[in-house]
Structure 1
C-alpha cells in the first residue's frame, strides 16, 4: 500500500481545485463539475494527488487535517501570492506565531510556514498536521498503513516518505476528540498488486482502526477510521 491522495470536500470543486493547483503548482488530471484532481509530484519522492470532491454544503467543523505550505525565507512573498489567488487572512486565535494562517476560497484554514530545517526537500507542502488522541500510537498505525517512517521533527511524532522527500505527516495532540462529521480533508491509500482487500481490512482493525459503512452503494473503495477516528479510504489496485 502507499499514500496516494489528499481528498478535500468542496462546494465548488472546480473553483477551489484551480486555486490549490495554482497555489501548489500541480499538474491537472481531472477538471469536472463534481471533481477536480491535480498531481503534486516531487522528483525522487512521493507522488500525491490533490482531489476535490463535491459536497452540498460547506462544512463548519474544525479541520483535523490541514496543509502547512512551505514559506521559508520567501514567506511574505508566498503569502502575497496566495492572497492574490483568492486566499484571505484568518484569525483562529493563533496570537503571535512565526507562521501565517490563511483561509482558502471556501474558508479552509492552512498555514504558510517560516523557515525550518525540517522542511528541507518537502516541496510546496511542508507538512500535513493530523489531530491525534495518541500521537505515538497513531504514528505506528500510519507508518504501517503507508510505509512512511518516523523522522525528527517539530511535532511530537513525524512520519515521512522513505525517500526523505515530500511533506511531513505530523501527528499532533488533538484539542478535542473526533466528532461525528466526516473530516473535510482526508487521506487515501492505494492497494498494490498482491494486496488482498479483505486481509488489509482485517489488519486495519488489528492495528487499532475500524471499518466504516460506505457513503454510497457500489463504491470501489472501502472507508475506515484510524485509532483516533480520522477517516481514510483504501482504494483498489490500480488497473
Structure 2
C-alpha cells in the first residue's frame, strides 16, 4: 500500500481546488462540478494528489487533520503568507499569536479550513510545499503503528509524540498529535491509500483490525470500489483497489 491522495470536502470544489493548486504548485488533473484534483510533484518520482469532493453544506466540526505548509526562515515565511493572502486565504485566530512566541502563522482557506505556514525546521528538508500532516490522536503510539503498516513510512525525529516519513525522506511528515477532544462525525480532510498488485482485501482488512482500526460502512459504499476505515482514534481513511 502507499499514500496516494489527500482528500478535502468542499462546497465549491473548483474554487477551493484552484486556491490549493496555486498555493501548492500543483498540476491539474480534474476540474468538474463534483470534484477537483491536482497533482503535487515531490521529486524523486514521488507525488501526491490533492482531491476535493463536493459536499452540500460547509462542515462545522473541528479539523482532525490539517496541512502545515513550508514557510522556512522568517522573511520567506512572511512572503509565503502574503502570497496565500493574495490567493484568498485569511488570518485565523485560534488563540495562538506570533507575537506571543508562536513561530507559525495560522490561516484559513477560502472555505474556512485552518492550515499553518511553518517556520524553518531541520525536519522539513525536502518535504515539498506540504511540510507536515498533523493528525489528532487519542493514542499516538498505537495509531502510529497502524499508520506505519499502512504507509510503509518510518519513525523520524519530529515535533510530535510520533512522526512518520517515507523511507526516501521526501514528502511531508505524518505527525501523530495528542487530540484536544474525541473524534465526532465525518472527517472533512482524510487520506487515501492505494493497494498494490498482490494485496488482498481480506488480508489487508484483517491487518487494519489487528492494529486497532475499524471498518466503516457509509451509505454510499455499494456505489464505489473503495472501502472506508478509521484508525483507533476515529480518523477516517480510505483504501483504494490496486490499479488494473
Q: TM-score, normalised by structure 2?
A: 0.96
**Mapped contact 1:118–1:153 kept (Cα < 8 A):** yes
Q: Unaligned 5+ residue runs, structure 2? A: none
- Asked whether 1:7 is paired with 2:4, we answer no
Counterparts of residues 50-61 of structure 1 (less than 5 Å) = 50-61=50-61
Structure 1 residues 158-214: Cα deviation after superposition (integer angstroms, max 9, x where no partner): 0001101110000000001111x1111000000000011121112110111000003
Matched residue, 1:183: 187
SS at match of 1:159: strand
* Total equivalences in the alignment: 238
1:78-227 equivalences under 5 Å are 78-95=80-97, 96=100, 97-179=102-184, 181-216=185-220, 217-227=222-232
The correspondence for 2:236, drawn from 215, 231, 235, is: 231
Shift of 1:33: 0.6
Mark the runs of 5 or more structure 1 residues left unpaired by the alignment: none
C-alpha spacing 1:45/1:178, structure 2 compared with 1 (3 Å): farther
Q: Distance in 1 between matches of 2:88 and 2:96?
A: 21
The 2-side partners of 1:32 and 1:68 are apart by 27
Partner Cα separation in structure 2 for residue 222 and residue 82 of structure 1 = 34
User: Which residue of 75, 78, 82 corresponds with 1:76?
Assistant: 78
TM-score (normalizing by structure 1): 0.98
Verify the 8 A CA contact 1:45 1:163 in the aligned structure 2.
Answer: no
Distance 1:133 1:45 in 2: 34
Matches within 5 A, 1:12-91: 12-44=12-44, 46-73=46-73, 74-91=76-93
Q: Find the residue that maps to 2:38 and give its secondary structure.
A: strand
